[in-house]
Amino acid sequence: MCTYSAVDGHVNDWHLVHLGGLALGGAALVMSEATAVVPEGRISDCDAGIWSDAHVADWQRVTRFIAAQGAIPAVQLAHAGRKASTSKPWTGSKPLTAEQGAWQTLGPSPIAFGAYPVPREMTLAEIDAVVAAFVAATRRALAAGFQCVEVHAAHGYLLHQFLSPLSNQRTDDYGGSQINRFRLPLRVARAVREAFPQALPVFVRISATDWKEGGWDLTGSIALCKELRALGIDLIDVSSGALVHDAQIPAGPGFQVPFAVAIRTQADIATGAVGFITSPAQAEQIVATGQADAVFLARELLRDPHWPLRAARVLGAEVAWPNPYLRGKI
């Protein structure tokens, strides 16, 4: 079971996923990433969203096209929290100015991400509203034709902010102890799972560690994933980092795969591995040796959009090629 993805982020990136046994009959899955559940949850001012019923018809055009190609449409539901209100990545991903249309960001505590503006601490009513927004977005996703949803709780966005003691210093039921910091991500995961048909998969994306002393770590991730498994979550998309701006991350080929291994074995839940996975042989080795149940490619797919076809040819897998590309198959 291999997964091929575009860079996580915004402005409507995409995953292309082969899911094997996860209730989808082995078809490829194409996922729209970082789709905002509320306007203020957008990372940038150009992010896609699914916070309005008016979005459903436009998404239906996308999902119908994906389905017509023999693939399964999926969507990642997201709220950026304190990392919202930025410019597009190719213009620097800088916080927007008032003149550029900046909006008030929210977070568990009034602690900024580096030089970003300080977010406003969320009230209990706003926390409840976020849960309701994820549920409404899930129902719209189903109406729009998506057959898989992923809850984004990684990369320093809102749900990750609640998990980490570096960004969550609340003293109420949503802060302090580990179980309190779990509370909002678990509420969202449970609500999304209940709102989506049980026969269709729900993923959760996490950062396994903040790579920062005193922050969120693998031990906490394993404990969280045990809770997510009990809620019926089908797969954990295992990334890391991006909560704090000054983390020292030892990035290199397959550097996050051990996190996927640990969560898969210790939390007994399917995982996807991601991070500097670039070659077909490397991806195949991760899945074939049981280190993870899926492999997610990011920048490599941007560099080589035809990577899945090339990988299939290198590995001897039979996949459908678009007719204009058939000459490249032989």
Structure tokens at 130: 């976020």
Query: 275-313, pLDDT tens digit by residue?
Result: 999 999 999 999 999 999 988 887 888 899 888 888 888
Least confident of 8-22, 155-169, 196-210: 8-22
How far is residue 99's CA from residue 118's CA, in Å, rounded to a whole number? 18
How far is residue 270's CA from residue 160's CA, in Å, rounded to a whole number? 20
Structure tokens at 288: 């074939």
pLDDT bracket for residue 325 (50, 70, 90): confident
Query: 137-167, pLDDT tens digit by residue?
Result: 999 999 999 999 999 999 999 999 999 999 9
DSSP secondary structure string for all residues of 140-164: HHHHHT---EEEEE-TTSHHHHHH-
How far is residue 166's CA from residue 209's CA, in Å, rounded to a whole number? 12
Query: What CATH number should be reported for the domain whose range is 3-329?
Result: 3.20.20.70
Q: Measured at the alpha carbon of residue 175, what is the angle toward residues 204 and 112, in degrees to the nearest 5? A: 80
Q: Is 157 a catalytic residue?
A: yes
Question: Mean pLDDT throughout 244-269?
Answer: 97
**Secondary structure element (H or E) that encloses residue 259, with its range:** helix 257-266
pTM value surpassing 0.75: yes
Query: 176-185, pLDDT tens digit by residue?
Result: 999 999 999 9
Question: Which listed residue (116, 157, 174, 325) is catalytic?
Answer: 157
**Secondary structure element (H or E) that encloses residue 19, with its range:** none
| pLDDT score, position 16 | 47
- The candidate with the shortest Cα–Cα distance to 231, out of 265, 180, 195, 181, is 195
| pLDDT score, position 13 | 55
How many CB atoms lie under 10 A from the CB of residue 90?
7
